[in-house]
Amino acid sequence: MDKIHSISEAIQGRMTRYTHADFGDDASVNSVQLTEGISTSVTHIRYYPGVKLWVVRSTLERILLFLSAFLLMVGLVLAIVINVIEHSLHEARIAQLKFEAEQPCLNSSCVHVASHVLEAMDLSIDPCEDFYSYSCNGWVKANPIPDGKSNWGTFMKLEQQNWLVIKQVLEQPIETFKSKAEKKAKIYYESCLDSNDTVESRGAGPVLELLRKLGGWNISESGFSLANWTLQNTIQLVQNKYNIGALFSYAVGEDDRNSSRHVLQMDQSGLSLPTRDNYLNKTEEHVKILDAYLEYMIKFGVLLGGELNSTRSQMESVLEFETRLANITTPSDLRRDEESLYHLTTLAELQEKSDFIDWRQFFENAMKVVQKKISSKQQIVIYAPEYLGNLSELIKEYQNTNEGKITLNNYLVWQTIRVFTLCLSKPFRDAYKGFKTALTGSDGGEEPQWRYCIQDTNNVLGFALGAIFVREIFNPDSKEQAETMINNVRNAFKRNFKNLEWMDEDTRKVAIDKADAISDMIGYPEFIKDVHHLDERFDNLNIGPGTYFENNVNIIFYNLKKNLEKINEPVNKTTWSMVPSTVNAYYTPTKNQMVFPAGILQNPFYDPQFPESLNYGAMGVVMGHELTHAFDDQGRQYDKNGNLNHWWNNKTVDRFKERTKCVVEQYNKYKINNKNVDGNQTLGENIADNGGLKAAYHAYLDMMESKPEPRKLPGLSLNHKQLFFVAFAQVWCSAFTKESTNLELEKDSHSPAKFRVIGAVSNLKEFSDEFNCKVDSKMNPKNKCEVW
């Protein structure tokens, strides 16, 4: 609108000058005094030369002069008329442009997206008081949590749409599939559906056979012999065949200090419940969860032949052991300093610090499956040395008595068999429901089996399903368009560095270098489109019809073997950790890499037909979020090559930490269900939310700088800058049960959806400017937190 007015004024200015130039000069010529008197000294008579000249003219000359004067007058009149007409046409054109600009966009795409945006909103809410409710109350009201779910949101809704696409393909005849890998996915999916009731007819058989392989379980008649039992052998079976993180977890991953190589890594693990607080906080809510967990354990044991009272007693001992594990486990909010967590040692040194098993023997046993050798000098990164030291003391205490040894075996076996609960018959699955309800507020019972099975197949054979998904639904043009958006967001993020007074110039330069070095992977890895490479990836995975339990056992071992094969091998920094159909994205600090799967590059996050305000508000913020992770409290500790490295000026580090305190304190104050958000636990994600929103918004402004303001969407009075923020908020529209919200507050590194929205917008001055929020309104506090 403003541009149209300025154009009109400029045109009128040019026409005014034109008017003066065309007519002003003629007027001065005609003002020469032709009637000035002429006198002589002889006659002293005043003459009027003009009259005299006219008198002496011939008739023809007088006619010609008259015609000339007449034509001149006509020309002057025509010029005036033409000017008036031109001016009127200009005014009409400006008015037309202004009218058109004020009219909403009424093509089918605009009408469609406007409908969805508007339906999700609650215009009765003041956006300056609660922007999340303003943007999402309509969505929450229209989208109750489906039966069987504990939460429901934009991400999950799109994910289920993706699953529906995959389901339609998986139901086709097997001969129509293009690769062996895709056929394995179909076989696995059908084994999960269990249309022939094979799982039901087998009952407890599969898990009883597993117990015998593990050396038996004292709770059931499965061959347990205390005389033949050793902790070393049982741990090796549990960890090195079934990949169960009981007591501790280990894996092969990129070395944080030398990300070009793979190295063994070990960390604390072994709790069945999501957090240590579930064991240690004796509130009514936590006691309810513990009671439900114990009941689940008891039912499972009885289903395997255990006597009720004996099973209860032994499971109570297992729960007590887990509680003691929780007591020596470090809370997640105290494990955010990557440098303090990293401890590179050798197996020999590990043996000195934690000697409850023979570590060299343990890892030699693990490496047999990949035919690689291990020595006592083998390097390993320990992320929880204090935990492993305390664990060693705890294990020795239990090893001193037969009852303690039985408890240790019961715990290790329970940690293994509980993983397979959903692969067993209905009585086992029903035993789990009560526990799940206490934990999440939903038992999942009403969800169609096909949905669970698609999700399960995606978890275990996601790249095979990815080939199907990309072929069926992904627009290849989206990769190029997403790349452009990423670069725009990156450029906006970098440009903001000059405004950060807390950052010194040297750190600013290397930060720009790191931002430039971040690689991005979009859509899918190329190998999934190559049948040979896809089949090769899953060549050693055995999947059979009607053997759902065994299929899961095979997948666990297959994944373990794939991981161990990487030991001492160079790192391929183009590998993916997320499958293509996933509605999510991630950043990996050791690879300095962002990944945006095909699953999220679609409506409502991204659509080529959408106004750019919506694309940047939704997908652009997701991109900015992942980019900012490279500079959050953990990501900033890694340099541009993905190495844990002290590459910042010390004073800049101190000033950065001061700014992050503001973020911690801000989010600590947010409360839901009478529980506060943990600002330390969620710090990295909160920094990324705030930085991502700011970078994406300025990327949008930069892109639109030379373009006219787009037409408004029909039914919405908002301009497109305001729509940007609405699109951001509506990404997080969601509903949760009380139980799942409480669980999220305890274990999740993300703040609840509402606070992801209001926390970020309340820190961004540009938001308050666009919505004219008064200072000290809830969305425009006087004191704002800014890191990036």
SS (H, E, C) 700-723: HHHHHCCCCCCCCCCCCCCCHHHH
Residue pLDDT, tens place only, 84-94: 777 767 665 65
Amino acid 73: pLDDT: 80
- 689 among known catalytic residues: yes
Amino acid 2: pLDDT: 44
Amino acid 581: pLDDT: 94
* CB-based contact 273:293 (threshold 8 Å): yes
- 267 among known catalytic residues: no
Which 8-state DSSP code applies to residue 618?
Answer: I
Amino acid 324: pLDDT: 97
Residues in the chain where the model's pLDDT stays below 70:
1-58, 61, 88, 90-102
Distance in angstroms (rounded) separating the CA atoms of residues 272 and 325: 11
Q: Which of 689, 744, 746, 770 is catalytic?
A: 689
Amino acid 96: pLDDT: 54
Distance in angstroms (rounded) separating the CA atoms of residues 211 and 430: 21
DSSP string for 44-105: -PPB-HHHHHHHHS-HHHHHHHHHHHHHHHHHHHHHHHHHHHHHHHHHHHHHHHHHHHHSPP
Amino acid 111: pLDDT: 81
Residue pLDDT, tens place only, 392-442: 999 999 999 999 999 999 999 999 999 999 999 999 999 999 999 999 998
Amino acid 48: pLDDT: 30
Cα separations in angstroms, 166 against 177, 185, 548, 609, 678: 12, 11, 20, 24, 38
Dihedral sign computed on CA atoms, order 114, 117, 121, 127: negative
The CA angle 437-244-461, to the nearest 5 degrees, is 80
Amino acid 218: pLDDT: 96
* CB-based contact 754:132 (threshold 8 Å): yes
Q: Which of 626, 632, 639, 748 is catalytic?
A: 626
Q: CB under 8 Å to 778, separation ≥6 — which residues?
A: 128, 129, 130, 758, 762
Amino acid 106: pLDDT: 75
Cα separations in angstroms, 608 against 116, 481, 491, 710, 777: 16, 8, 21, 15, 36
Strand 343-346, strand 379-382: pairing: antiparallel
